[in-house]
Amino acid sequence: MNRIVNDPNYVVEDMLKGFVKANSDIVAATENSRVLKYVNAPVEGKVGIVTGGGSGHKPAFIGYIGKNMCDAVAAGEIFSSPTAKAFLDAMRAADSGKGVACLYGNYAGDNMNVKMAVRSAKKEGITVKTVVANDDCASAPKTELEKRRGVAGEVLMWKVGGAKASMGADLDEVIAAAQKAIDNTRSVGIGTAPCTIPAVGHPNFTIEDGTMEVGIGHHGEPGIKVEPIKTADEMAVEMLDIILPDLPFASGDEVVVLLSGLGATPVMEQYIVYNKVEEVLAEKGIKVYKAYVGNYFTSLEMMGVTLTVMKLDDELKECIDMPADSVGLKQL
Amino acid sequence: MNRIVNDPNYVVEDMLKGFVKANSDIVAATENSRVLKYVNAPVEGKVGIVTGGGSGHKPAFIGYIGKNMCDAVAAGEIFSSPTAKAFLDAMRAADSGKGVACLYGNYAGDNMNVKMAVRSAKKEGITVKTVVANDDCASAPKTELEKRRGVAGEVLMWKVGGAKASMGADLDEVIAAAQKAIDNTRSVGIGTAPCTIPAVGHPNFTIEDGTMEVGIGHHGEPGIKVEPIKTADEMAVEMLDIILPDLPFASGDEVVVLLSGLGATPVMEQYIVYNKVEEVLAEKGIKVYKAYVGNYFTSLEMMGVTLTVMKLDDELKECIDMPADSVGLKQL
Amino acid sequence: MMNFKNSEAGSVVLGLIKTIQDNKDFLSEVDGKIGDGDHGINMNKGFTMTGEKLAGKEFNMSEGLSILGATLLEDIGGSMGPLYGVFFDEMSMACEDKEEIDADVFKDMICNAVDGVMDIGGAKPGDKCLLDAMVPARDAFCAALEAGKDFSAALDDLKVAAKEGWQSTEGMIAKIGRASRLGERSRGVLDAGATSSYLMLTSLADSMQALMK
Amino acid sequence: MMNFKNSEAGSVVLGLIKTIQDNKDFLSEVDGKIGDGDHGINMNKGFTMTGEKLAGKEFNMSEGLSILGATLLEDIGGSMGPLYGVFFDEMSMACEDKEEIDADVFKDMICNAVDGVMDIGGAKPGDKCLLDAMVPARDAFCAALEAGKDFSAALDDLKVAAKEGWQSTEGMIAKIGRASRLGERSRGVLDAGATSSYLMLTSLADSMQALMK
Ligand SMILES: Nc1ncnc2c1ncn2[C@@H]1O[C@H](COP(=O)(O)OP(=O)(O)O)[C@@H](O)[C@H]1O
Ligand SMILES: Nc1ncnc2c1ncn2[C@@H]1O[C@H](COP(=O)(O)OP(=O)(O)O)[C@@H](O)[C@H]1O
Ligand SMILES: [Mg+2]
Ligand SMILES: [Mg+2]
Ligand SMILES: [Mg+2]
Ligand SMILES: [Mg+2]
C-alpha cells in the first residue's frame, strides 16, 4: 500500500494543518491542536454545535465545520476517539453562553470522553447536552437501539442540528431536532475492500476478492453477513431491505437519501447504486426530497458504500433546506 | 477488484441515470442519453459553456454542469472521448444564440470529435469557439505546449469561463478569459496505484508497490519518471519543482491551488500534501488566494494526487470569486 | 473470376465484425502497454452494435460499410469513432453505385478511406498509428495493379504490406495519440490502432478473395 | 524485606512504559482480530509520551503514575485514554502521601484503580474487556492477603490470576466496546484490552518484587 504521508504517526497533525491552511475562510485552529472551529465561533446568541470522533473519515468530522453546520470539532487519532480534553476544548470554542449541543456517534471511546468532557464543562458553567447517533441498523437488533453505532446518518444530524441552531432555537430545541433527525434515520453499509491505518501498515480486516460484507462498520467492524459480491442493483435492494422495514418507512413518506462511498469507491459506482435506490423507493411510493451522493463519510481508502435514509417532517425539511457552507457539505 | 456495477459494459449509462436522478435540481437529461445539461440551459442571453470527455473522472465532467459553470456536457465511455454527435448535441443544448465556448482537454479523440462537431454546428448556424486545455507540464516539453494534455486545470478553466459567461461577456471575451486561465495554469500528477476499467477487469498499467510515477496522466499514461515512493512533503516539493519554473511563477504572484486526489487517495493524504505545498509557496513569496483540495478530477480508483497552480490577475480573480453551483464545485 | 457482386458481398462486413470481436482482448492488451487499454472495448462496442443493426437484414457491401461507418461516427467516441468512421464511410461511398466490385473499385475504396483518415486525424505514416498499416497496404495494392497483377494477387500484396507495416510500429516512437507523450518509452511495443487496421485489412482481403472463388 | 520506598520506585513506571513499547505490535494484532487494530498504537503513543515527559526527571512512583494517568487522560483518546487514565490516576492518588509502599497501600491502589475503570466504563468482568484481567487480579491479591500471604506472594497470586483472567477472554462473547457488535463472532479470540491489562499487571508486580529484593 503506497501511502502519501510523512511520519505515519503524525498523519492527523499534518492533515489538520493542511486543512486549516486550505480552508481558512471557513475553519480556524484553536489553542488545542486537535480542535478546529468555525471562523465565526462562538456565534453570538447561537447554540454551539460540537462533534468529534476518530480521524480517517474525511470529510467527517472537521469537514462539517461551517456556517449552519458545526461550530467546533474534536479530532482523534485515526479511528480512535478524541481525548476528553479535546471534546472539552471544542465545547469551550463553540459556547457563546447559549449552551452546546454535542452531537456525536455511539462508540465506547466517544461516550467515555464526551462524558468526562461534559462533566468538566459543567464545572466551568457551560451547559452541554448530547445526542448520540445510532443510525446503523446492522450494528444491533432493533430491540437494542442503544447499542447501535452512528455512521453516515450523523451528517444529517449535524445538518439538522446546525440549521436549527442558526434559526435561533434554544438548546433544548436544537437537541430535540437533532434527536428527531437521528431517530428517523437508518443506515447500512456494504464493504468490498478493507483499508489500512498508516501507522499499522497492513489492512486490519479482510474482505476477500469476490465477496462483500453487508453491515460492515466504519472501522471495519464485522457486519451481519459475508456474501459473494452482487450487482450494484442487488446491493441497492439488499440495503433497502434492511433499512426500510427497520424504521419502518412507508408509502407516502418523503425522505432524504445520503449515499456515501467509503473512500476508494469511484463516485461513478455510487451513482450506479443510487440509480437503483431511487427506482426502488419510487416503486414503494417513497419520495426522495433530497439526495446527497458522494464521499460524505469515508474510512480512508476502504471500498464500499453506505446508504442512509431519513424520514422527513416539516421541521426536518426546513432544516435540510437551509443553506450550509462547510467543506464537506455546501448548499446554496 | 470488487466493482460495484451491473453490466460492466453499461456503467456509463447506469451512472448517468443515477446522476440525473440525484441532482435533478441542477442537471437534466437531454434527448441524447450521453449529453446532460444544466436545468436552465440554454440560458437566455448567455454564451453557452460546453465540455466533454471520457467518463471515469468524476466529478469531471458532468459534475461541473451548473450555475456559472458548464451548460452542457458530452460523456464518453470510460476514458474515451464522447462521439462527435454527443459534442454536437451538447452544443445544441447550450446555445441560446450567443454562441458556444467548448472548453475541453487536449486528447486526440476529443480533438477529432470536437472538430467534427464544430463543423456540424456551424452548418446549423451555431457559432462554436474552442479552448483546448494543456495544463499538464509533464506531458510534453515547454517547447511543445500544443502537445500537452489537459488535466485538473480544466476545472479552473471551466470556473473562469463559466463565470465570465454569466457576467454577460460575449463569446470572444469568454474564450479569451478561458484561454488566459489555462495559459496561466500548470499541473502535474503523481500516481501511486493504478485503476481498473470495469469492462477490462484488470489494471491496464502498473505502479509497483513502493514506487510512484511522477507526471502520470489521468488514464495512466506513463509519466516522466518512476521513483521509490517519497514522503508527502517530498512529493509536494517535487511537484512544485516541476510546476513553478514552467510558467514561471514568481514571488509576489497570487495563485489558485487545486490539489486533487486521483480517486482512491484518502482526502487526509491530500491535505497532508497541501500543507507542504502552501508552506513552500509561502517561502517563495507566492500567495495562495484560494485553495481547492479534494477529489476534483479523478481516474476511477487510481491513487495519487495532481497539483494545479493558476496565476491570477484581476479578471481571473473576479471569475474565481464568483459563486458556483455544480455538483463538483459549489461556492457560496 | 476476379471480381464479385456488391449485392452478394455483405459478408465482408460480417467478417470485419467477427475479426474485431475475436480480437477484442488482444487489442486492449496491446493498447494497455502504452495507451489506456481500451482499444478492444471501443472497437468491439462499435462493431457489435453494427452487427446488431445488420442482424436479420438484407444488405450489400456498400450498405453494410455505410452502416458500420455511421455507427462508429455516431455511437463510438474516442479516436476510433471519427477515424474508422471516416474510413468505412469513405469506403462505402466509393462503391455505393457499383454493382460489380473489381480491382479498380477497391482501389478507389482504399485510397479514399486512407485519405479520409489522414484528413481527420492529421497523422502520417511513421507516427505509430493506423496509417502505418493502412498506407503501406494501400501503396502495395496500387503498385501491384500498376505492375499488372490481378485483384486477388494485389490483395495478397496488400496483406503482406499491412502485416509488415503493422510490425514496423514496434520499432517506432509514437508521434500521435496518447502514446506520443512517452517519447522513447513508446518504442518496443506494437501500436494498437495499427494492429486493428492490419487485422481488418486482412479480413477485408480474405473475404473478398473468398468471394472471387 | 516486604516493602519498598515510593521515592525509589519510579522504575515501576518505566517498566510499564517498556512493557507497552515492547508489545505494541502484538496488542494491535490482537485488536485487529475483532476490533480496529489500533490498541498497540494508542497505548504506545500514551506511554511513550509519558516516557518523554519523565526522561531526565527525578520522580517517585506516585508522581510517575500521576503523570502517566494525566497523559493518558489528556493526550490519548479512544477508550484507553479515559479507562487507563483513570486507572493510573487512582493508583497514584492511593499512594501519593505514602513513603513506604507495602501490601496494604498496594491493595488500596489496585482496588481504587479497578473501581475507577468500572465507574467510567460501565463494564463488568465477563464483558471481554480490561476488567477480565483486572478484577481477578485484584481479587486474588486481596484473597492472598486475607489468607495471610506476604506482599510478594500475594503479587504472585495476582500474576497468576491476571494471566488466567486474560486467557479466559478467549472463550467470551464481547459485551462492550467495538467487538460487542460481533456476538458469537467475537468468541475464540483474546481481548486486546485484557491483554494489555495482563501485561501491565505482570510488569507492575515484577517491578515491585524486584524492589523488594
Ligand atoms: N490522429 C490519429 N491518426 C491515426 N491514428 C491515430 C490517431 N490518434 C490515435 N490513433 C490511433 O489510435 C489508437 C488508440 O485507439 P484507442 O485506444 O481506441 O483510442 P484512445 O487512444 O482514445 O483510447 C492508437 O494506437 C493509434 O494507432
Ligand atoms: N467500557 C469499557 N470498559 C473496559 N474496557 C473496555 C471498555 N470498552 C472497551 N474496552 C476495552 O478496550 C479495548 C480496545 O481498546 P482500543 O483498541 O485501544 O480502543 P478502541 O476500541 O477505541 O479502538 C477492548 O479490547 C476492551 O478490552
Ligand atoms: Mg480505535
Ligand atoms: Mg481510450
Ligand atoms: Mg486506448
Ligand atoms: Mg482498537
What is this model's ipTM? 0.84
Quick check: do D and B touch, 3+ CB pairs under 8 A? Answer: no
Averaged pLDDT for residues B250-265:
98
Interatomic CA distance for residues B5 and B11, integer angstroms: 7
Q: What are phi and psi of B306, to 5 degrees?
A: -120, 140
Question: Is residue B328 assigned to a domain?
Answer: no
Subunit contact B4:A305, Cβ cutoff 8 A:
yes
DSSP for C147-191, please give it: TT--HHHHHHHHHHHHHHHHHHGGGPPP-SSGGGGGGGGGTTS--
Residue nearest (by alpha carbon) to ligand 2 atom 24: D193
| Contact flag C185-B107 (C-beta cutoff 8 Å) | no
Amino acid making up residue C8: E
B286 lies in the same domain as B179:
no
B286 and B249 in contact (C-beta within 8 Å)? Answer: yes
B292 contacts in chain A (CB < 8 Å): 22
* Contact residues for D27 (Cβ-Cβ < 8 A; gap 6+): D20, D39, D40, D43, D192, D195, D196
**What does D91-147 look like in DSSP terms, one character per residue?**
HHHHHTT-SEE-HHHHHHHHHHHHHHHHHHH---TTSSSTHHHHHHHHHHHHHHHHT
- Alpha helices (H) along A38-188: 84-94, 108-123, 153-166, 171-183
Together in a domain, A267 and A296:
yes
Is the minimum distance from the CB of C135 to ligand 1 under 6 angstroms? no
What is the pLDDT, as a whole number, of residue C157? Answer: 98
Residue C24 with chain B: CB contacts under 8 Å: none
Kindly calculate the radius of gyration of chain C based on its CA atoms and give it in whole angstroms.
16
Counting other chains too, the contacts that A317-320 makes at CB distance below 8 Å and 24 or more residues apart are A317/A254, A317/A289, A318/A163, A318/A167, A319/A159, A319/A160, A319/A163, A319/A164, A319/A167, A319/A177, A319/A181, A320/A156, A320/A159, A320/A160, A320/A163, A320/A256, A320/A289, A320/A290
Gap between the Cα atoms of D87 and D94, Å rounded? 11
A48 residue type, one letter: G
Same-domain status, B102 and B241 = no
> In 3D, which of A72, A64, A69, A65 has the Cα closest to residue A42?
A72
Residues B33 and B174 in one domain: yes
Residue C187 C-alpha, separation from nearest chain B C-alpha, in angstroms: 13
Residue D21 predicted with pLDDT over 90? yes
Measure the CA–CA gap between A55 and A52, rounded to whole angstroms.
Answer: 9
Is residue D98 within 8 Å of residue D62, measured between CB atoms?
Answer: yes
Q: Are strands B35-38 and B27-29 parallel, antiparallel or unpaired?
A: antiparallel
Strands A27-29, A48-55: parallel, antiparallel or unpaired by DSSP? unpaired
The grid coordinates listed for D63 are 508522581
Q: What are phi and psi of A93, to 5 degrees?
A: -70, -25
Question: At C32, is the pLDDT very low, low, confident or very high (cuts 50, 70, 90)?
Answer: confident
Query: Above pLDDT 70, what percent of chain C?
Result: 99
State the pLDDT at residue C38.
82
- Over pLDDT 90: what percentage of chain C? 83
The answer to whether the CB of D130 is under 6 A from ligand 2 is yes
| Among the listed residues D133, D204, D205, D193, the one whose alpha carbon sits nearest the alpha carbon of residue D163 | D133
List C-alpha distances in Å: B37 to B18, B61, B158, B328, D134: 15, 11, 14, 14, 65
Q: How far is the CA of C81 from the centre of ligand 1 (A)?
A: 10
CA distance A283 to B8: 25
In a domain, B4, yes or no: no
Mark whether B171 and B218 lie in a shared domain: no
Average pLDDT over all residues of chain D: 94
Do A19 and A164 lie in a common domain? yes
- Domain assignment present for residue A331? The answer is no
Residue nearest (by alpha carbon) to ligand 2 atom 16: D39
Cβ contact B200–C37 (<8 Å): yes
Q: With beta carbons less than 8 A apart as the criterion, state whether B54 and B78 touch.
A: yes
Model pLDDT for residues B134-164, shown as the tens digit of each residue: 999 999 999 999 989 999 999 999 999 999 9
Chain A contact set for B229 (CB, 8 A):
2-3
First to last CA, chain B: 38
End-to-end CA distance of chain A: 38
Query: How big is chain D, counted in residues?
Result: 213
Hey, are the CB atoms on B112 and C178 less than 8 Å from each other? no
Low-confidence ranges of chain A (pLDDT < 50): none
- Ligand 1 atom closest to the Cα of residue C129 is 27
Whether residues A165 and A207 fall in one domain: no
Residues 6+ apart with CB under 8 A from B10: none
At C42, is the pLDDT very low, low, confident or very high (cuts 50, 70, 90)? confident
CA nearest to C36, candidates C147, C177, C134, C195: C177
Given the C-alpha cell 510515477, which residue does it identify? B213
Q: How confident is the model at residue B130 (pLDDT cuts 50, 70, 90)?
A: very high
Instruction: Report the 3 state secondary structure along C80-143.
Output: HHHHHHHHHHHHHHHHCCCCEECHHHHHHHHHHHHHHHHHHHCCCCCCCCCHHHHHHHHHHHHH
Q: Which CATH number do you get for residue A217?
A: 3.30.1180.20
Write down the pLDDT at residue A202: 85
- Among B133, B109, B307, B326, smallest CA distance to B216 is for B307
**CA B183 to the chain's CA centroid:** 14
**Considering the domain boundaries, does residue B95 fall inside one?**
yes
Q: In the prediction, which pLDDT does C41 show? A: 87
- For residue C145, what are the contacts with CB-CB under 8 A and spacing of at least 6? C103, C104, C107, C154
What is the per-residue pLDDT for A200?
A: 79
pLDDT in tens, B19-29: 999 999 999 99
Give the whole-angstrom CA distance, residue B62 versus residue B52. 8
Q: Burial letters for C45-59: b for 16+ Cβ neighbours within 10 Å, e otherwise?
A: bbbbbbbebbeeeeb
Residue B119 has a pLDDT of 81
Q: Within a domain: residue A273?
A: yes
Compare CB distances from B274 to A18, A264, A325 and report the shortest one's residue.
Answer: A18
Q: What is the pLDDT of residue C177?
A: 77
Average pLDDT over residues D113-123: 94
Touching check for B189 and chain C: CB below 8 Å?
no
Q: Which residue of A has its CA nearest to B299?
A: A266
The pLDDT value recorded for residue D147 is 97
- Tell me whether residue A330 is in a domain: no
- Percentage of chain B exceeding pLDDT 90: 91
pLDDT at res. B205: 82
Domain hosting residue C105, numbered range: 4-212
The residues whose Cβ lies within 5 A of ligand 4, an ion, are B 79-80; C 36, 38
For position D128, what pLDDT does the model report?
Answer: 96
Across D89-107, average pLDDT: 96
Q: What is the pLDDT of residue A223?
A: 86
Q: Do C79 and B204 touch (CB under 8 A)?
A: no
What average pLDDT does range B231-248 have in this prediction?
98
A161 and A205 both lie in a single domain: no
Mean pLDDT of B172-194: 98
Residue nearest to atom 14 of ligand 2 (CA): D193
| Residue A78 DSSP SS3 | strand
Cβ contacts of A4 on chain B, cutoff 8 Å: 192, 232, 235, 265, 269-270, 272-273, 304-305
**How far apart are the C-alpha atoms of C124 and C135, rounded to whole Å?**
9
Q: Rounded mean pLDDT of D129-145?
A: 98
Q: Per-residue confidence at B289, pLDDT binned at 50, 70, 90?
A: very high
Of D20, D213, D12, the closest CA to residue D106 belongs to D12
- Cβ atoms B47, B170 nearer than 8 A: yes
Shared domain for B191 and B168, answered yes or no, is no
Query: Is A175 found in the same domain as A42?
Result: yes
D103 has a pLDDT exceeding 90: yes
C-alpha of residue A55 to centroid of ligand 3, in Å: 10
Q: Which atom from ligand 2 is nearest to the alpha carbon of A219? A: 23
- Do residues A217 and A179 share a domain? no
**What's the mean pLDDT in B189-213?**
90
Q: Is A328 contained in some domain?
A: no
Tell me the C-alpha distance between B109 and C122, whole Å: 12
Distant-in-sequence, close-in-space partners of A117: CB < 8 Å, separation ≥ 6: A84, A85, A86, A87, A88, A91, A102, A128
The domain that holds C147 is classified in CATH as 1.25.40.340
Residue A190's H or E segment, with its range, is strand A185-193
Confidence of residue C193 (pLDDT cuts 50, 70, 90): very high
> Of A57, A67, A98, A180, which one is the catalytic site residue?
A57
The alpha carbon of residue C188 and the mean position of all alpha carbons in its chain are separated, in whole angstroms, by 23
Flag if B22 and A266 touch (Cβ within 8 Å).
no
Same domain, A149 and A222: no
Domain range for B231: 185-320
B236 backbone dihedrals φ, ψ, rounded to 5°? -60, -45
Peptide bond into B245 cis (omega under 30): no
* Nearest chain C CA: its distance from B300 CA (Å): 13
Give the H or E element holding residue D49: helix D39-54
pLDDT category at B203 given cuts 50, 70, 90 is confident
Cell numbers of C43, please? 472497437
CATH number at residue B103: 3.40.50.10440
A202 has catalytic annotation: no
Q: CA angle A297-B151-C37, nearest 5°?
A: 90
pLDDT at residue A220, rounded to an integer: 85
Q: How many domains does chain C have?
A: 1
pLDDT in tens, C82-95: 999 999 999 999 99
In this prediction, residue D35 has a pLDDT band, given cuts at 50, 70 and 90, of confident
Distant-in-sequence, close-in-space partners of B48: CB < 8 Å, separation ≥ 6: B41, B42, B71, B72, B91, B93, B94, B95, B96, B98, B99, B100, B101, B165
Higher pLDDT, D184 or B183: B183
Domain end call among B151, B168, B183? B183
Query: Number of folded domains in chain A?
Result: 2
Q: Are strands A100-105 and A48-55 parallel, antiparallel or unpaired?
A: parallel
Residues of B in contact with A207 (CB under 8 A): 2
Which H or E run includes A258? strand A254-261
- Does the C-beta of D135 come closer than 6 Å to ligand 2? no
Closest residue by Cα to atom 14, ligand 1, is C193
Pocket lining: C31 vs ligand 1, CB cutoff 6 Å: yes
